[in-house]
């Protein structure tokens, strides 16, 4: 792992804003690097937060979409002087993880795609024993770290803790992601990873007790999204999900209730959320308008008195 001047190998890197810390380039060989930026993000709950983002440059050569890790700073960020001195006194786990992703793509042709996940086998990742999984979410915004310094196509690694992982495993990834967004009032979810000990779960399995996911036979599939646009529910089924969906439908009994756990449409500007204690419908969004409302599940319950489609929890059932 070699420290380099970013301009030596990334001449197209946008200049940092005035008074900003210059980015640090970590050269990992084979034309792969990680650029480490310090920047801020404006948040509704916490105001301005200091962040450090690790942006891969070169994974695309191995067929892998570039990966971004963003850590919320636990302490005061580096000064310009300490950064210029060449010391790597920031967490290196994201750098080693990007190296691992490169190895899997190069040697085993294993690629991670949007809404894929990686389970942790190493304990105490970033100092937390309860980080259990990374979920990869496409193209999130990173505050003062503008798009000029980010790959146009990228996956942001979002870390979830043990209680959230139980929800992800038994319900859906989107149910965890949108609850993180609800906790922080940041759509679709906060791009930063919180490593502080006080980080609490955004949702637990007990808060979802009685969910339709526990009543219906449920299938989770990447590549199927649902969006409410005006009075229409628009379901998009990607090519990668079609065969799996056919197999699931064929396996159903004639009167069996079923549900599909969806992922978020890239064009959604908001998303339904649900906990059993909610007295009113809840949603998070990127602004005042919710013209493309993401839904978390779509289900069918046969043998009803009449045909209808109604909102249930954070989805629609008919």
Among 286, 246, 249, 250, residue whose Cα is nearest residue 269: 286
Q: Are residues 219 and 82 in the same domain?
A: no
Strand partners, 128: 125
Parent domain of 179: 2-207
Domain final position from 188, 207, 226: 207
Residue ranges of alpha helices (H) inside 34-161 are 80-84, 93-107
What is the pTM for the complete model shown? Answer: 0.89
Residue ranges of alpha helices (H) inside 118-198 are 162-170, 173-184
With a cut of 50, which residues of the chain have pLDDT below it?
2-13, 15-19, 76-86
Q: Are residues 47 and 180 in the same domain?
A: yes
- pLDDT, tens digit, for every residue of 287-306? 878 999 999 999 988 877 78
Contacts of 22 (CB under 8 A, 6+ apart): 6, 16, 80, 83, 84
Q: Are residues 167 and 215 in the same domain?
A: no
Q: Are residues 187 and 224 in the same domain?
A: no
What pLDDT, on the 0 to 100 scale, is given for residue 21? 66
For residues 189 and 74, give the distance between their C-alpha atoms in angstroms, rounded to a whole number: 20
What pLDDT, on the 0 to 100 scale, is given for residue 84? 38
Domain final position from 181, 207, 233: 207
What pLDDT, on the 0 to 100 scale, is given for residue 124? 84
Q: Are residues 44 and 186 in the same domain?
A: yes
- pLDDT, tens digit, for every residue of 186-212? 999 999 999 887 789 999 999 999 999
DSSP state of 125: B
Contacts of 252 (CB under 8 A, 6+ apart): 217, 258
Q: Are residues 213 and 261 in the same domain?
A: yes
Tokens standing for residue 107: 């040697």
């Amino acid at each position: 792992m070699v420290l380099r001047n970013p301009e030596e190998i990334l001449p197209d890197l946008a200049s940092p804003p005035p008074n900003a810390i210059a980015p640090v380039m970590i050269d990992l060989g084979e034309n792969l690097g990680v650029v480490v930026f310090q920047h801020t993000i404006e948040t509704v709950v916490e105001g301005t937060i200091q962040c450090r983002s690790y942006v891969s440059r070169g994974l695309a050569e191995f067929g892998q979409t570039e990966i971004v890790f963003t850590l919320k700073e636990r302490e005061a960020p580096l000064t310009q002087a300490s950064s210029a001195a060449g010391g790597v006194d920031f967490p290196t786990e994201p750098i080693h993880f990007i190296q691992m992703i490169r190895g899997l793509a190069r040697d085993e042709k294993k690629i991670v795609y949007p809404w894929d996940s990686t389970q942790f086998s190493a304990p105490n990742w970033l100092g937390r024993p309860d980080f259990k999984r990374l979920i990869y979410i496409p193209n999130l915004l990173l505050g003062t770290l503008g798009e000029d310094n980010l790959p146009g196509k990228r996956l942001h690694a979002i870390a979830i803790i043990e209680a959230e992982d139980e929800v992800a495993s038994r319900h859906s990834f989107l149910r965890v992601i949108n609850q993180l967004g609800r906790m922080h009032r940041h759509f679709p979810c906060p791009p930063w990873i919180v490593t502080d000990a006080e980080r609490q779960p955004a949702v637990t399995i007990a808060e979802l007790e009685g969910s339709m996911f526990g009543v219906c036979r449920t299938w989770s599939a990447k590549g199927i999204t649902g969006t409410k646009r005006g009075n229409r529910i628009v379901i998009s089924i990607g090519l990668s999900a079609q065969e799996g969906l056919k197999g699931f439908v064929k396996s159903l009994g004639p009167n069996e209730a079923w549900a599909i756990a969806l992922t978020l449409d890239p064009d959604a500007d908001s998303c339904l959320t649900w906990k059993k204690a909610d007295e009113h419908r809840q949603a998070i969004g990127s602004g005042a308008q919710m013209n493309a409302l993401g839904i978390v599940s779509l289900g069918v319950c046969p043998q009803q008195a009449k045909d209808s489609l109604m909102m249930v929890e954070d989805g629609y059932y008919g």
